[in-house]
């Protein structure tokens, strides 16, 4: 028995390894502006049996896991609330510092979950800097210096040590406190982030602040930072980077080609392209970055392109390690409906099906009716119904016996009976009533069961459709490890 179990475990492990070695392909949509239907899900489902597929619906989530930040639009009402609370807190600073702490803390919480958005919004960023600094000053005035120091350190890590704090805007003691905390934080040590890009003449924005940048590394406070590059007219996405202390500096490659073409719509991500001109150069330039994001061997770029009076579904299969186009294909598609045959032809040209899949696809399937007497659901319902009727009959017989005893004449004391006999008849009456209720319930269940069985037998074709191969063999399920 033990040897048998070992064999089964080894078989499962070998199957799992074989499955793990399956090629992996990420399906990435190209948006050319041609209005049309989305072939991505159909392409993914067609290739699902041939390779391991990362669907395009997963692309946005994978980009976020890789550090891409898709900042939500800041609601105007939220901005007005923060401004109002900041103004109220500033008015309370010198009259009631503790009340000011409550109001400014609320303003800080309102903006906390918008940090990835307001870091690159100069107006809101200035408001949030002011809220944090006023909150620090409120704690100082309330003689809560430890809390003030904590808030100041968090503000420095969020906005950077270069944040502007001058006596023109803030109390001299607050400016002095800011410099002291900043110097202490810088003495604790700094971290570095290695940044590379394929763009030229770029300006780096670190946490929303412009920083002198050349290909290489930048020195930052240890913690989470947000990076964005502007290279000429192109602007990259925002990248979130964690710079931990006492470790190798993290490396970030900002692909301006990819970032400037990324389009986020609701929960999906796509890549904007102007047309088919130079598109092969473009997809090979971003394939390696997308391969690192999706952790796949190949990227399948696909998109609809308008060509005079018809539309084409075109695709390119690119290897992520070498950035070489393995295969490309193009098929004509209708304008208003998704063509399954066109998508299948496209997939067959890019990644041909296996021999087993070809046999499965070419096997004609004929539908036959299942005979009513082969419907096991009907037999189960019939068995329940007959069981209920039989049980009801037994309980009915018991009910009649107990009833006859309860309603029969007294046999002692000249027909008047005794108290013991009276109580005995009373108990028999209770038993008779109980058996009657049970018999009624069983007959009801039995009736429903028999009626259901008849209905199930009549509807056999709807419940149990059979599929038989054209050569007469029944189609069976197979285990797929």
pLDDT tens digit sequence for 424-479: 878 888 888 899 999 999 999 999 989 988 888 888 766 665 544 443 333 333 33
pLDDT at 356 over 60: no
Strand partners, 231: 202, 234
pLDDT at 326 over 60: yes
Q: What is the mean pLDDT of residues 271-282?
A: 85
Same domain for 212 and 131, yes or no, is no
pLDDT for 53: 92
Q: What is the CATH number of the domain that holds 234?
A: 2.60.40.1120
**196-238 pLDDT, tens per residue?**
998 888 888 888 888 877 767 888 888 888 889 998 888 899 8
**68-110 pLDDT, tens per residue?**
988 767 778 888 888 899 999 999 988 899 999 999 999 888 8
- What confidence category does residue 13 fall into, taking pLDDT thresholds of 50, 70 and 90? very low
- Domain membership flag for residue 143: yes
Strand partners, 302: 29, 315
Question: How far is it, in rounded angstroms, from Cα 1 to Cα 61?
Answer: 46
Question: How far is it, in rounded angstroms, from Cα 74 to Cα 370?
Answer: 60
Residue numbers of the domain that contains 441? 372-468
Q: What is the mean pLDDT of residues 306-330?
A: 88
- Domain membership flag for residue 14: no
- Domain membership flag for residue 41: yes
Return the top range by mean pLDDT from 6-15, 259-268, 392-401. 392-401
Question: How far is it, in rounded angstroms, from Cα 325 to Cα 285?
Answer: 11
Buried b (16+ CB within 10 A) or exposed e, 136-165: bbbbbbeebeeebbebbbebbbbbbbebeb
- Domain membership flag for residue 6: no
Question: How far is it, in rounded angstroms, from Cα 449 to Cα 403?
Answer: 29
pLDDT for 5: 43
Same domain for 408 and 461, yes or no, is yes
Question: How far is it, in rounded angstroms, from Cα 305 to Cα 330?
Answer: 10
- Domain membership flag for residue 275: yes
- What confidence category does residue 413 fall into, taking pLDDT thresholds of 50, 70 and 90? low
Same domain for 124 and 171, yes or no, is yes
Compare 355 and 433 and report the one with higher pLDDT.
Answer: 433
pLDDT for 365: 44
In the chain, % of residues over pLDDT 90: 35
- Domain membership flag for residue 301: yes
Q: What is the CATH number of the domain that holds 279?
A: 3.40.50
pLDDT for 11: 44
**17-65 pLDDT, tens per residue?**
444 457 899 999 998 876 667 888 999 999 988 899 999 889 999 998 9
Same domain for 150 and 204, yes or no, is no
Same domain for 141 and 203, yes or no, is no
Q: What is the mean pLDDT of residues 357-369?
A: 50
Q: Which of 259, 289, 306 finishes a domain?
A: 259
Query: What are the Cα distances from residue 235, in Å, to 1, 199, 200, 344, 354?
Result: 65, 10, 12, 37, 44
Same domain for 421 and 459, yes or no, is yes
pLDDT for 357: 57
What is the total count of domains within the chain? Answer: 4
Q: Which of 237-241, 321-325, 404-408 has the lowest mean pLDDT?
A: 404-408
- Domain membership flag for residue 7: no
Contacts with 441 (C-beta within 8 Å, 6 or more apart), sequence order: 392
Q: Which of 177-191, 195-209, 244-258, 418-432 has the lowest mean pLDDT?
A: 418-432
Same domain for 182 and 86, yes or no, is yes
Same domain for 232 and 291, yes or no, is no
pTM: 0.63
Same domain for 117 and 32, yes or no, is no
- What confidence category does residue 159 fall into, taking pLDDT thresholds of 50, 70 and 90? confident
pLDDT for 27: 94
pLDDT for 134: 93
Do 136 and 156 form a contact (C-beta atoms < 8 A)? no
Q: Which of 200, 225, 259 finishes a domain?
A: 259
Please provide the average confidence, as pLDDT, over all residues in the chain.
Answer: 82
112, 162, 118: which is closest to 135 by C-alpha?
Answer: 112
Same domain for 179 and 139, yes or no, is yes
Same domain for 355 and 283, yes or no, is yes
pLDDT at 115 over 70: no
Q: Which of 311, 342, 362 finishes a domain?
A: 362
- Domain membership flag for residue 11: no
Same domain for 255 and 266, yes or no, is no
Q: What is the CATH number of the domain that holds 100?
A: 1.25.40
């Amino acid at each position: 028995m033990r040897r048998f179990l070992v064999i089964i475990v080894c078989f499962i492990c070998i199957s799992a390894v074989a499955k793990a070695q399956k090629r992996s392909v990420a399906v990435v949509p190209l948006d050319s502006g041609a209005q049309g239907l989305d072939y991505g899900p159909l392409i993914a489902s067609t290739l699902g049996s041939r390779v391991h597929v990362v669907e395009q619906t997963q692309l946005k989530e994978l980009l976020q896991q890789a550090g891409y930040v898709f900042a939500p639009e800041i609601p105007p009402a939220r901005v007005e609330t923060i401004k109002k609370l900041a103004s109220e807190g500033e008015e309370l600073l010198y009259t009631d510092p503790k009340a000011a702490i409550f109001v400014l803390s609320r303003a800080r919480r309102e903006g906390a979950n918008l940090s990835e958005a307001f870091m690159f919004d100069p107006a809101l960023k200035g408001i949030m800097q002011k809220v944090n600094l006023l909150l620090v000053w409120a704690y100082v005035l309330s003689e809560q210096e430890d809390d003030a120091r904590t808030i100041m350190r968090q503000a420095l890590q969020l906005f950077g040590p270069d944040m502007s704090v001058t006596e023109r805007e803030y109390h001299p003691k607050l400016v002095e406190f800011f410099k002291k905390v900043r110097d202490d934080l810088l003495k604790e040590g700094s971290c570095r982030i290695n940044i590379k890009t394929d763009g030229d003449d770029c300006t780096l924005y670190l946490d929303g602040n412009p920083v002198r940048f050349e290909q290489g590394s930048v020195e930052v406070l240890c913690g989470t930072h947000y990076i964005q590059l502007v290279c000429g007219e192109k602007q990259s996405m925002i990248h979130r980077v964690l710079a931990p202390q006492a470790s190798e500096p993290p490396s970030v490659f900002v692909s301006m080609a990819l970032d400037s073409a990324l389009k986020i719509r609701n929960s999906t991500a796509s890549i904007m392209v102007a047309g088919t001109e130079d598109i092969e150069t473009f997809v090979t330039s971003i394939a390696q970055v997308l391969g690192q994001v999706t952790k796949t061997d190949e990227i399948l770029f696909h998109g609809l392109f308008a060509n005079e009076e018809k539309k084409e579904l075109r695709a390119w299969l690119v290897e992520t390690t070498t950035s070489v186009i393995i295969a490309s294909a193009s098929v004509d598609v209708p304008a208003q409906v998704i063509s399954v045959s066109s998508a299948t032809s496209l997939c067959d040209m890019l990644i041909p099906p296996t021999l087993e899949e070809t046999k499965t696809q070419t096997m004609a399937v004929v539908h036959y009716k299942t005979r009513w007497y082969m419907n096991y659901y009907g037999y189960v319902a019939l068995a329940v119904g007959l069981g209920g009727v039989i049980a009801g009959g037994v309980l009915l017989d018991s009910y009649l016996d107990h009833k006859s005893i309860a309603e029969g004449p007294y046999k002692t004391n000249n027909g008047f009976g005794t108290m013991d006999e009276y109580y005995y008849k009373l108990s028999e009456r209770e038993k008779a009533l109980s058996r009657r209720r049970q018999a009624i319930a069983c007959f009801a269940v039995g009736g429903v069961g028999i009626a259901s069985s008849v209905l199930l037998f009549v509807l056999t074709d709807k419940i149990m459709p059979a599929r038989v191969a054209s050569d007469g063999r029944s189609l069976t399920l197979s285990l797929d490890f």
